[in-house]
Each structure stands twice: as structure tokens, then as C-alpha cells.
Structure 1
């Protein structure tokens, strides 16, 4: 098969020109159209919960497209779907690329699915242009990431990395009382049904994903090089004061739990702003009891989500803020309690792979920047087991988890072209370099 020619003056492989970007844009659009026929929700967008009928239809659609791309298709016991392009050498681990097929309720077309489409299109192009790779390439449609049906996340990547085991699934049930194990079995998956989900033969994972934010669009950039995924801490805080009459209780005599919660929330915002742009703190849920317009709140409950890419900074911020909250509660004579129910450490991406992504962007003439992901992704799960990297493409208006999310075919094609370059570096380049060295020796 004909091989792509290096870009003049760089010595690096890249798509030959605008025609390749147009081809990638068309192929990815067709793939997303095929995936988008599955799980269309009457309320708008797409709903593909793990192991649901819509989810099964989507995985079948991905399977057909992988097969059409010339890949060997198989499932694992958890329901992850792979399209494999066998390499000539079994000495190094496979290079895995893709994302998740499940969605939130009424989600968009691009979250997760764009990464799968880009993976299939990239490997298909590489196979046609460059033949068999040295290292095995695999496109993956991960079965679950969002946690929309069951109270757990990253079931797909977690099963591959060993966080979960399909033969001993967590005791989790959906809103209808169906357990994870029951749903898995009903969909045709589980122990003994397909290949083992646990993998120890993966050498690298590269995930293309929409940014789910507005930074790239606002800065008119083509690509984000993800240095890491932020750590997260989540709490539920409960304040107890004294419910009393709203008209007869002087302000100075009140023990208003809701007012205390409001002061804490505003203080969390002030402190996060003082720590710099990388720190975010969000009070996403607030409730008060008894919840009457003419009664001072005797109890208030609110959640707090804090994220930052550096573990020490995250810890320091949370410790300081907790102390401030205790001071506010004491000054208002309120009982105060905090329950932490999430503590996820930051997940740095592999430095060498990040450099490969940057080199790919530069070789293609793409405008890129380094950035951190404020949202969780499968790459963070894989990063604890083998080298992982992410590249972001722009999201229109920063919208995501919404029927309105959108990334243009041209933006997706530029990201897929960069993905091609990275995959070529990982799976082909060393073999090509060895051939070049051998030819050089012969000339001598």
C-alpha cells in the first residue's frame, strides 16, 4: 500500500493535504450519523444507558462500522467493543484509542461518540495508507463512563484496568431496582460470555474528546493537549439552627441555617477565585427545612464540588475552607457537619505522549495549547495502569451533556488528523526509522 509522504522539511508523517482532512471529516460525519440513529430521545438528544436497548443498538452500529473499516471485531465480558488491527510484533503492548458510547439522559451526539468515530477513521486511514503496523492498533467503544444508570462510573475502562471485575460486580441497582449484574446478563455479557475484560497487554491509550468547555473556541484554537485530569473532592454539608417565626424573631436573635449556608457558599466562591483560574468550587444543590416562606430555616444542606489539577493545592484549599466554614458556623451558633463522599486524585497524562500530541499538532500546522481537563474521562482510569493521553477538540459555546453540543466536521477532522499522527508515531514510526537506518548503512 502507498505510504503517506513526510511533510516537506519536518520528516514527520502527516495527511498529505486538504483532501485528507475532507476525507476524515466525511468519514467521521458518516460514523456519527450511524451512531446517532441509536438512542434518539423524544425529549431531544440521545439517551443510551448502559446495557439498555438503545445502548445495544449503538454498540452493534459501532461493530458494523469497525468491520467495514477492515478491523477484527470482538467484545469483552463487560461489553466493551474493540476493532483490532493486528501488528507485526507481539513484543510491545497494543495502542488503544477510543472513548465511551453511553450517554447522560438527553445527551449530545459528540460526548464520547466523537472519540470512537475519530479512532475508527484514524486507524482505517493508517491501515489503507501505511499497511500493517508494528504495534497492534485497537479502536475501542467503551461500554460505560457516565454513571447515568447505575451509581458508579467508568465501568468500562475500570473493568479493563482492574478497578472492577465483571465476575464480582458492585452491588449497584438502577432506579427500577435492576442490578448491574442482572442488566449485564440480560444484555448478553458477564463472566464466560466473551473475552476477559482485564487487560495487561495495552501499551498506551490515546483519547480524543470534545473539550466540554469554551476555552479552545474563545481562543480560536484547534486542539487542546491535556496535561492531566483534575482531582475532585465532594461533600454534603449540614447546618442546624433554630426554626422560628419570620416576623417576630429579631435578626440579632436568629440561628438561621440557610443564611449560614449562603455565607459559606459565597466564601467558597471568594476563596476559589483567590486561588487562581485552575481552582473551581461549586455548590450545586441547596435545600432548607422546613422550607416555608414565613419560617426561618432550622436546617440547611448543601453540596460542594471542588476541583484542581494539583493534589497538594487541592488538599490545602479544602483544609482552609473547612476551617472557614467551622468559623462561620460558630459565629452564627449553628451545628455544623460535613460528609466527604468523593476523593479522586488528579490524574496526570503521560509526558511522552503529551509531547507526541504537541508534535502532531505542530506538524499539521494546528493551533494548540496545553490545558487540564476539569471533567472526568476514561483516560484518568487508564493512566494508573499504562501511559495515557488526551487531545481535545473545540465545543461550540462550551456546551456539553446537552442536545445542543456541537463540534464541526472540520474541527473533528483536524483532531482526527492529529490522532493519526500520534498513532503513527506509536505504532509505525520506529519500524520506519529502522528501515531508514538500514538503507543508510547500505549506502555507506
Structure 2
């Protein structure tokens, strides 16, 4: 079975990766681009040929359906997003789509018609790489996408979202799409995008929760002054204030330990001259945890510490919390079922959080959801060097197929 899936992956992954192949290496397939549309149309044709009933919804999500015999209105859904980041790898997102199609095709050939309907989904978008909006595909499926949020947005070249959509043959809904009520479970296979599985020589990750995220932009205002004539104790140095915030907060995050992570990702100092004390510094913070209470508690300490430090140094501070996404626990019953499957198959696996956001995070509050990770070599992702060993790719598809079989063929 693993050998079968390895051969199928070797045949189909290069084909799918050819749509949007970047001349500089990697993959660039942005929402509603010509490359995106070609990939969706080609995938639709392949699914048609494999005997699945295919359709696009209004916004461009592609489905391939295997009708159930006894409970056709109970759908087991699997897939991921078909778009990529700019100059990304060829596994993030699209491998989850390919894996779902290969798994369902194998199940159809092996077991025939399921009791419940099975569907592959190639979701229109997740990355937010072209337009300033993420998870457009999955948010429309569960009915939480507001058309007004994208009605006026444009990409970096000034192309309107609605115009790009229209060129591809789709149209912006007048009101939010009704959520699908027929999905009984959603299962997403994805590369880990970290190196925990590889480091521990484990082939499967059973995701228990996807982290919540709080993101800030912080502005410090002090006083620009001469670097030679301003004594140290007379300064209102915003770089020094930032450095204290960064060091103290990072130490506290390390002390609390996993799964909390804290990142100071972007720092801009003004005027940015070698012989001038920085009177203004702007920086970003990304804070993540799988537990909402722990995330909020740490964030409150973080904000209080920043204000205390700035008061001590005579620096003004403005804190803008512009993202506050709650953690998304996976369905406990499905997680337990997946763990049992791994144990019965003798797989080397671990229970783990997802430190990145995924479509499963959008589904989880609305539909019983679980997520399967497979290793990433050196933890590299969003990069042309993104890769996973062929045996791990095949084992991931096999595990997905066995999980879908349990969900669709048992009472």
C-alpha cells in the first residue's frame, strides 16, 4: 500500500507542481491567477477521469465527490488549499489536496461505494499571498466569509479582488454564502513545516490543537539627540527600550516553555543614523499558544512589562493589537480515533500542536476536524527547498486513506 502511494505521488506531484512553477525555483500560484486557474482546471479533469463527480462553488473551491450509498448527505471532507506563497515549495497546501484525491481514488478502487459520501476539496485560497485576506476558501465553506471584506481590496499591482475573480469565471457573493451543513468530518493532511517529527524520527503527527495568535505593532516615541553630546542618563532612547522589552519578554517566554512561542519579527528605528539616538522605534510581536487562557495571560504580562519599561526610561508607547485569533482544538473523538489507528498500524507518531495556522483552524469551530502531520526535512517551508522524504509522503497518504475508510465505510 505504501509502495502504491509512493508511485502515485511520484507520478502526480511533479504534474501538479508544473502549474505555477517559478523560473527561479519553487512554486508561485496566487489566488485567481492564470496559474491558479490552470491548476484547478487540470485537477478537475483528473478527478473526472478517476470517476469522481466534480464541481466548483461560487468562489472557486473545487470538489470531487464519491457518493455514499446509505448516508449520502453525510460528507467526509478532505483536502487543503491549492494556492501558494510567492516562490514557495510544492508541498504546502497542494500536497494535502493531492493526498486526499489519491486516498479517495484508492479507496474507490479497493472498496467501491462508501456508506457516507467522500469529497476531495481544493480550497481556493489560504495563504493571503496576493490579496490582504487569508483562508477565503474555507471561510466561505463554513459561511463566515464576508464579501464586503474583499469588495475593495487590491493586490500589489492594483488589481481588484473582484476583477481577478471575474476573469477566472467566478463572482463575489452578494451576501455571505450559507455554511455547508452536510459535512460530518474534515480531515486535513499537511507537512509539519517544523522539524519536531524529523528530529524525533517519527512519521506521523496527530495534531491536538492549532495555536491561537496575537499580533502587535508597537510604537515607541522618545527623543532623537546627538550621540556624542547626550549623556547616557539624559537619553530617551527607544532602541534601548526595545532591547529591554525584547530580552525580558523572551526570557519569560522561554521560562514558561512550550507550546508558547514569542517572536519580535520586524524592527524599524528612526532616524536610523549612526550618530543619532533613536527617537522612534516601531516593532512587531507575534505570540502563540494552544491554550486561550495561557495566551491571554502571557499577553497581559507582556503589555504590562512594556509599559513599565517605557515609563522607567521616559519613553511613550502605543500598543496596537491587530490580530487576536483563538486557538482551535481538534475534535477529541477524531483525535482518539487517529491515535488508535496509528497504534494498530505500528506507526511511530506523536501528539503535537500546530504552530502554524491552517484551513483546519477555520473548520474546527464548525465541523468535527482533525489534522495529520508528516515530517518536513530540516523544518523548511515557504521555500523552494521545502521537502519530505518519499516514504513519509506515502505513509501520510496511507494513514489518511485508512482514516477516511473508518469514517466513510463504518456505521
Give the TM-score normalised by structure 1: 0.90
1:332 and 2:313 are equivalent in the alignment: yes
* 1:288 matched residue in structure 2: 269
Kept in 1: contact 2:165–2:172 (CA 8 A): no
The alignment partner of 1:93 has SS state of strand
2:168 to 183, 187, 198: 187
2:32 to 19, 34, 51: 51
Change over 3 Å in CA distance of 1:34–1:165 after alignment to 2: farther
Kept in 2: contact 1:108–1:400 (CA 8 A): yes
Shift of 1:263: 1.2
* 1:264 matched residue in structure 2: 245
1:227 to 204, 208, 211: 208
1:199 and 2:180 are equivalent in the alignment: yes
* 2:325 matched residue in structure 1: 344
* 1:300 matched residue in structure 2: 281
Kept in 1: contact 2:133–2:150 (CA 8 A): no
* 2:370 matched residue in structure 1: 389
Larger strand fraction of residues = 2
1:317 to 298, 306, 309: 298
* 2:118 matched residue in structure 1: 137
1:252 to 224, 233, 251: 233
Query: For residues 22-52 of structure 1, what are the alpha-carbon distances to aligned partners after superposition, in whole Å with 9 as ceiling and x for unaligned?
Result: 1111112222111111111122211111000
Residues matched between the structures, number: 409
1:419 to 395, 400, 404: 400
Q: How far, CA to CA, are the matches of 2:259 and 2:166 in structure 1?
A: 42
* 1:34 matched residue in structure 2: 15
Deviates more, 1:159-168 or 1:346-355: 159-168
* 1:122 matched residue in structure 2: 103
The alignment partner of 1:144 has SS state of coil
Query: For residues 202-225 of structure 1, what are the alpha-carbon distances to aligned partners after superposition, in whole Å with 9 as ceiling and x for unaligned?
Result: 111000000000000000001000
Q: How does 1:364-443 map to 2 (within 5 A)?
A: 364-430=345-411
Shift of 1:229: 0.3
Give the TM-score normalised by structure 2: 0.97
Shift of 1:354: 0.7
Shift of 1:165: 4.7
Query: For residues 207-257 of structure 1, what are the alpha-carbon distances to aligned partners after superposition, in whole Å with 9 as ceiling and x for unaligned?
Result: 000000000000000100000100000000010111011111111111101
Kept in 2: contact 1:167–1:190 (CA 8 A): no
Deviates more, 1:42-51 or 1:129-138: 42-51
- Misfit runs of 4+, over 3 Å: 165-171
Kept in 2: contact 1:46–1:105 (CA 8 A): yes
* 1:154 matched residue in structure 2: 135
Shift of 1:89: 2.6
Kept in 1: contact 2:72–2:117 (CA 8 A): no
Name stretches of at least 5 consecutive residues in structure 2 with no aligned partner. none
Q: How far, CA to CA, are the matches of 1:69 and 1:395 in structure 2?
A: 29
The alignment partner of 1:417 has SS state of helix
Q: How far, CA to CA, are the matches of 2:151 and 2:278 in structure 1?
A: 38
1:76 and 2:57 are equivalent in the alignment: yes
Q: How far, CA to CA, are the matches of 2:178 and 2:135 in structure 1?
A: 13
Q: How far, CA to CA, are the matches of 2:221 and 2:394 in structure 1?
A: 54
